[in-house]
């Protein structure tokens, strides 16, 4: 049993392979930005009715993105968020509604975006808000 005389791992070959692998890993790590999505949220449509939506914290775009089932998506850059508030309200039948209000500015115009969070997802959404934007929602009213 002898060695294959036509192929040897020389330092030059190993160095090239290692460099190529390192470049591939760096490109892959840079391309994979953290995104956290929540599918059980509702947002008001133009008529005021609550419709299903997907809430995404996109670190690649550095924005909170809301994609309603019908209608135009909303993108709020992290840097334009002024503050966030969390509050829950009780309905007539005794259910709690969990609300997130995002105060932000678009150029010089102040804007507000409100969404209704699912009772099973409101805590993870508030955690994701803090983790992705660095902003902790102020707890209002009944939620204190």
In a domain, 7, yes or no: no
Supply the pTM of this predicted model.
0.74
- Its domain, for residue 100, covers 35-143
63 CB neighbour count, 10 Å cutoff:
20
Query: What span, in angstroms and rounded, lies between the C-alpha atoms of 69 and 49?
Result: 12
Question: How would you classify the pairing of strands 74-77 and 81-90?
Answer: unpaired
Q: What is the pLDDT of residues 32-76, one digit of tens each?
A: 457 889 999 999 888 888 999 999 999 999 999 999 998 889 999
pLDDT at residue number 143:
57
Strand ranges (E), the chain = 35-44, 50-58, 63-68, 74-77, 81-90, 96-106, 109-117, 138-139
In a domain, 20, yes or no: no
CB 98 within 8 A of CB 122: yes
In a domain, 18, yes or no: no
State the CATH number of the domain containing residue 67: 2.30.29.30
In a domain, 126, yes or no: yes
The count of domains in the chain is 1
């Amino acid at each position: 049993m002898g060695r294959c005389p036509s192929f040897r791992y020389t330092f030059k070959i190993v160095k090239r392979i290692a460099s190529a692998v390192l470049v591939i890993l760096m490109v892959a790590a840079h391309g994979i930005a953290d995104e956290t999505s929540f599918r059980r949220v509702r947002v008001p449509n133009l008529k005021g009715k609550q419709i299903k939506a997907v809430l995404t914290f996109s670190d690649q775009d550095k924005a909170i993105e809301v994609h309603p089932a019908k209608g135009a998506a909303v993108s709020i850059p992290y840097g334009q968020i002024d503050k966030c508030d969390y509050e829950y309200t009780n309905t007539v039948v005794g259910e709690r509604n969990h609300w997130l209000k995002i105060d932000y500015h678009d150029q010089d115009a102040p804007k507000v975006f409100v969404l209704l969070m699912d009772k099973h997802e409101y805590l993870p959404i508030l955690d994701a808000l803090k983790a992705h934007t660095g902003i902790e929602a102020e707890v209002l009213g009944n939620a204190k």
